[in-house]
Amino acid sequence: MENVADGRKDSEIIRLILEGDKEIYRILVERYNSMLYGYALSLCRDHDDARDLVQTTFIAAYNALDRLRDGEAFPKWLSTIMRNNFITIKRKKSLNTVPLDDMVRKGFDPPDEKEIEVLDEEELSRIRNLILSLPEKYREVLVLRYLKEIPYKKIAEFLDIPISTVNMRLTYARKLLLSKAREGDLL
């Protein structure tokens, strides 16, 4: 990724931050922010929400950095923090998902305008929707892969799954996409 140019290991950088060199946290942020954004997008399905989630996650990670035992597990740890944060936010505000209580009743506005707007948009956003409607485990590998062409190996580390599983899920995700595209007259 962009800043791999800085060859230092995550664990070394984290050690330096804890010793007081706060500024080099930037290296970790730049190293993982596209990945984290991809993951955030696959969770929130909304660009702005994803952006906020990325920020919250990095800051939360920074604040708790002294509690990370194995510096090399940093990406995996980030994804866990993000997931937890997302669940907390979702519980509070249900990001772009329709809670049952919010469902339409007689004579009322449909509560999820976002969803309906999307339907009226053009092809690209329909495709985007299609991807975001995939089950989570396929959605996340696909979005991570698409966003910055993140290598399989990094995706595997980040999500804490074997590389072969990444490969399998990507293939299956595309298979699902094709069949959904046929149903939706996109293909």
DSSP secondary structure letters along 118-131:
HHHS-HHHHHHHHH
Q: Decide if residue 170 touches other proteins (CB under 8 A).
A: yes
Q: Decide if residue 121 touches other proteins (CB under 8 A).
A: no
- From the CB of 9, what's the least distance to other proteins, in Å? 20
Helical spans, DSSP H, in 45-98:
47-63, 74-93
Q: 143 — phi, psi (to 5°)?
A: -65, -40
Q: How many CB atoms lie within 10 A of CB 142?
A: 23
Q: Decide if residue 18 touches other proteins (CB under 8 A).
A: no
Is the Cβ–Cβ distance between 92 and 32 less than 8 Å? no
Q: Decide if residue 62 touches other proteins (CB under 8 A).
A: yes
Q: Of the two residues 58 and 158, which places its CB atom closer to other proteins in the complex? A: 58
Residue from 12, 70, 102, 121 touching other proteins (CB under 8 A): that is 102
Is the Cβ–Cβ distance between 148 and 117 less than 8 Å? no
Q: Of the two residues 51 and 137, which places its CB atom closer to other proteins in the complex? A: 51
Q: Decide if residue 111 touches other proteins (CB under 8 A).
A: yes
User: Which residues, other chains included, contact 171 with Cβ-Cβ below 8 Å and sequence gap of 6+?
Assistant: none
Q: Decide if residue 165 touches other proteins (CB under 8 A).
A: no
Q: Of the two residues 12 and 184, which places its CB atom closer to other proteins in the complex? A: 184
Q: Decide if residue 35 touches other proteins (CB under 8 A).
A: no
Measured over the CA atoms of residue 124, residue 130, residue 136 and residue 139, the dihedral's sign is negative
- Kindly indicate which of the ranges 5-13, 156-164, 169-177 contains the residues binding other proteins, using the contact rule CB under 8 A: 169-177
